[in-house]
Structure formats: structure tokens, C-alpha cells
Chain A
Amino acid sequence: MNLIETRNLTKLYGAVIGVNDATLDVPKGVRGLLGPNGAGKSTFLKLVTGQLKPTEGRLTVLGERPWNNPELFRRVGFCPEQDAFYGFLTGFEFVKTLARLSGFDPAEAARRSEASLARVGATEYMHRKIGTYSRGMRQRTKVAQSLVHDPEFLILDEPLSGTDPIGRREMTDLIRSLGKEGRSILVSSHVLHEVQAVTEEFLLMYGGRVLASGNVHEIRGLMNEVPHRITIRCREGRALAHHLMRVLPIAGIEMNDGQGTFSVLTHDPGSFYAGLPAVVAEAGAKITEMVSQDDNLDAVFRYLVTRD
């Protein structure tokens, strides 16, 4: 059974398209939901969590329709993006209340709340009122409430927003560890490297459409018509570039500056890498830096967005 299945899923806000004709199957596992602001990520997550009803099409989560299906939330945990709380409650009371709403008795809810807050590193301040928390503390408390009922599918909407670098690292580690426990997680973000730190599987959204779904390397490999770009810094830049052009399968070379940095464009990066050492030795050059800028999320995203 897939985690999420959609068929021609569309959501309209009047004349504004939130999600546009999305058909996809999301298997279980840890996935990132990527896209810039206004791409439709939050709308998609609201559809998945039953807050919105699809205008057209079909949507199932864990085999069930989420709209008006509260029982589904025994298996799904949701951490919303909004920084909204009941400020008069302490973190512990907040998580415990939501645990009670998940059906646990008071003692079990208290036990689970403590465990959940400890998991996110919020034990120290859990008996303080949420209104006194910093942004990072509130974020952890939000994640804690989504975990307290031990869901098999976790949906995290921008879980790293507002956190400091240390907090971001800790949250990333937490998400990875939750994934290793066998939970399925869907992490939404507009910051590409944040998602890349958690998973290499992603859904990419833009303009309400799902542009791609899968592993970043697979996607890049499919983008045949766009040559790979490899930037090389070398003191004998021009000479090395001349040698490379003669020997290796290269679509083009761009001299970036006069200090020997140049970019190689190739449709066959495998052959290029295989033949590069010999060419460098023959040219007597010394490469000080080499970066493949394409085989990451930024490049994939840029390509898919501009192509669309």
C-alpha cells in the first residue's frame, strides 16, 4: 500500500489554483516535499491531512480518504507550519491534551507526553507556559505533539523554520532517526539543502503542479538534454581546457575568469570522469578544485522549474 495516492487531484480557491491535476503514488519512506513559496506545498499537505476537500480528483492516505475521516489520525501525525499554540498551557499540558484527544487515558497520555518531549529535547522547559518559549522551543513542542501517539506516518510542514543552526541540526538528526525506526515521513520545505540533509527522495512542486517525484540522482540522470556542468579550478586552466576538448566527450567549455577556473559541459559525465586523470597527467596540470554543480537538488529544481 502506498503512503499517498492521488489521481488528478485539484484544489481551487475560487479562481486561484492551489494544486493542479496531481497524479502520483508516494511509497512509504522518508520524503521531502519541495517547492518555493506559493508552489502549493501547504495546500497539498492540507489536502493530505483532511483540512481541505479536493475540488476534483481522488486522494487516499494509507488507503483511506482523509476528508472527514478523523480515525485516520490515529495513524497520522501532523506538525503544522503555523506558529500557533494555546499560550496559557505549558508544553507538557499542550502535548498531553492532544494525546488525550488521541484517545489515551490521563496516565498514559502523561507518560507518552514526557517521552515525546524528551525525544525532541524539550524536557527542560516542558513545565513552562508556551507563551514564554522561543521559536525553536515552540517548534520542538509542535513536533512532540505530532509524535505523541506514535503514528506510522508523520507529516512535518516546514519543521526547521525559525530554528537556529544547532536546533536545525538536532531536528534533522531526529527526523533521520524517526525514519530509521520505520516510520514514513513527509517533510515540507522551501529550503533545498534542509531537505537534502534528511532524504534524497523528494516530491517537487511548483505552481500547483507536481513536477517530479523520486530520487535526486535518478531525476538528474533523466535530464539528458541538459549537459552536466563541472567546474574546475586549475592554474593552467586554458591549456587543460584545450586538452580536454581534444580528448574527452565535451559539449562545451566556459572560461569563468582569467584565473584558470572554467566549466565543462558534458552529456556523458561517466566517460568524462573516467578519462579525466589521464588527460590531466598528459597536460601536466594541477587541479586545485573540482565541483560538479548539477547533481544536487538546486540544479534539478532550477532545471525543472525553468523548463516548466
Chain B
Amino acid sequence: MGTIAWLQLRQVLGEKKIFLIALFLALPALLSLAYSPPAVLAGESEKTISAAIFLFLLYPQTTCLLLALLYGSSILNTEVEGKTLTYLFSRPIAKWKVFTAKYAAIAGCLVVPTLGSFLVSWAIVGAPGGARFLLGFALSITGAIAIYTAVFSVIAVFFRKRPMIVGLIYGIIEFILSFIPALVSTMTATYFLRSIVARVLDLELPTDLLRLVGAASLATSVLALAALIAAAVALAGWAITQEEFASADNA
């Protein structure tokens, strides 16, 4: 599996488009230059909350989701279209291991530069909240990349023709559902990602706002995300063993 992960890393890092991805990661930092908390928020904790909202919407909600969409939705499709998947599936290594190794490589590859970009943005907005802020967002960003890459990878296995579109529709629906103040919001990954930030920052919010932002405990959120990721990877791994990836070309 390590070999597959290494191969995937080389594939991602060896692409010319990596410069465009680096440019894409610079955009949030550029946007952060224009950040300024609303004038009505005078206190330090309120400013921290404002910065947390700004950076959460910018990173876990948008940047992480988009990067995961690009790479997660093409986790196998690149190999299928490039017809190199045959080499991986004609070796004594189970198909689900191939998928898992590729997923781990992609998720790991995305986390590091995204955290770097976040660090720059955090510094630009005034480094609010200190180490706790960094920890909360590090967890949330890592979780966001892990869960969204897993979800979009599952989508890519089941919707091989238009995975990015289906993933986009999923992302829009999940975003909307996460703001509905009802049980349905607790079934979204976004809810737990917000909860992580809220718990680590120890935000004091009114009850109704807390329910909207994320009322789950830190442990619950981390476990829920881990369970979702494991379930998504297991589902995709199982589906891959049932799928045929050779086409009717040259039959």
C-alpha cells in the first residue's frame, strides 16, 4: 500500500497543474488581507468569533471542499481514463487496498498545503485566539479534507461519468441542510466540523445559535467524523471490488 501511496503522491505532485493549485491556495490568504471584523464587535472574544466564522467559511467550508472535490472525484477516474488502472489491478494486491492507499495519499497531500495556507491567513487576520485557535482549525481542516475526500471518492466510484457534478450537488445540499435548525443538520459533516472549532475555542453562544453552529462535543465530533470517513472508505472499497473498470473498447 505504501508503494501505491507513493505513486499517487508522485502523480499529484508531478502534475503541471500543481502550480494552479498553489495559486488557488493563495486566494484565501489574499482575501484575508481585506478582512476586518464588523465594528459592532468590540470585545476580544467577539473578534475571535468573527475571525473564526470568516476562516471557517473560507477554509473547511470552501477551500477544503473544493480541493477534495477536484482530487477525490478523480481518485480512480484518472487511472481509468489513462488506462493505467490495469497495472494496479493486475498485481497481487486487493482492489480495496489500492483505493485506500490512494485515498490516504491524496488526503495527506492536501492537508499540508492547506494548513500552510491557513497559517498565513490566520496571521494576516491578526492571529486571533492563539494556540487553541490553531489547534481547533487544524483539526477542522484535517477533518474537512479527510471527510470530503472520502465522500467524493465514494461518489466517484458510484457515479463514474460525472463525479464532480454529483459531488458539487452533494456539497450544496449538505451546506443548506447544515443550517437547518433540526436533527437533519447533525447528520452533516459540516455540523461536526463547526462543532470542533466551537468546542476547541470554547465559544460562549446562546443556545439556539449554538445548536446552529454546532453543539456536539469535541469527542463526539471527532468520533463521528472518523466513523463517517471509515464508513465511506469501506463502502468505496467494497464497491470497487464489485465494479468492472475495463471498458468495452477493443473488445
Interface pair B89/A50, CB less than 8 Å apart: yes
Given that A18-B251, A38-B251 are known contacts, is A88 also in contact with B14, CB under 8 Å in the complex? yes
In this assembly, does B241 line the interface, its C-beta being within 8 Å of a C-beta of chain A?
A: yes
Interface pair A51/B89, CB less than 8 Å apart: yes
Which residue of chain A lies nearest to B86 when distances are taken between CB atoms in the complex? A80
Interface pair A145/B246, CB less than 8 Å apart: no
Please report which residues of chain B, range 1-43, place their CB below 8 angstroms from some CB of chain A when the two chains form the complex. 3-4, 6-7, 10-11, 14
Which residue of chain A lies nearest to B244 when distances are taken between CB atoms in the complex? A52
- The smallest C-beta distance from A37 to any residue of chain B, in angstroms, reads 8
In this assembly, does B90 line the interface, its C-beta being within 8 Å of a C-beta of chain A?
A: yes
Contacts of B248 in A (CB 8 A): 13, 16, 18, 43
In this assembly, does A183 line the interface, its C-beta being within 8 Å of a C-beta of chain B?
A: no
Interface pair B83/A73, CB less than 8 Å apart: no
- The smallest C-beta distance from B55 to any residue of chain A, in angstroms, reads 35
Which residue of chain A lies nearest to B246 when distances are taken between CB atoms in the complex? A51
In this assembly, does B161 line the interface, its C-beta being within 8 Å of a C-beta of chain A?
A: no
Interface pair A74/B7, CB less than 8 Å apart: no
Contacts of B87 in A (CB 8 A): 80, 98, 145
- The smallest C-beta distance from A230 to any residue of chain B, in angstroms, reads 37
Interface size on B, residues (CB 8 A): 28
A187 to B68, CA, bound (A): 42
A88 to B18, CA, bound (A): 14
Contacts of B89 in A (CB 8 A): 50-51, 70
- The smallest C-beta distance from B77 to any residue of chain A, in angstroms, reads 14
Q: Which of B3, B91, B241, B245: most chain A CB closer than 10 A?
A: B91
- The smallest C-beta distance from A293 to any residue of chain B, in angstroms, reads 30
Given that A86-B11, A88-B11, A100-B3 are known contacts, is A71 also in contact with B92, CB under 8 Å in the complex? yes
Interface pair A70/B91, CB less than 8 Å apart: yes
Contacts of A52 in B (CB 8 A): 244, 246
- The smallest C-beta distance from B116 to any residue of chain A, in angstroms, reads 24
Given that A16-B251, A42-B251, A88-B10 are known contacts, is A73 also in contact with B246, CB under 8 Å in the complex? no
Interface pair A86/B7, CB less than 8 Å apart: yes
In this assembly, does B47 line the interface, its C-beta being within 8 Å of a C-beta of chain A?
A: no
Please report which residues of chain A, range 11-43, place their CB below 8 angstroms from some CB of chain B when the two chains form the complex. 13, 16, 18, 37-38, 40, 42-43
Binding site for B on A (CB under 8 A): 13, 16, 18, 37-38, 40, 42-43, 46, 49-53, 68, 70-74, 76, 78, 80-82, 84-86, 88-89, 97-98, 100-103, 145
- A sample of 10 inter-chain contacts (CB < 8 A) reads A13-B248, A18-B248, A37-B250, A51-B86, A73-B90, A80-B86, A80-B90, A86-B7, A98-B87, A100-B3
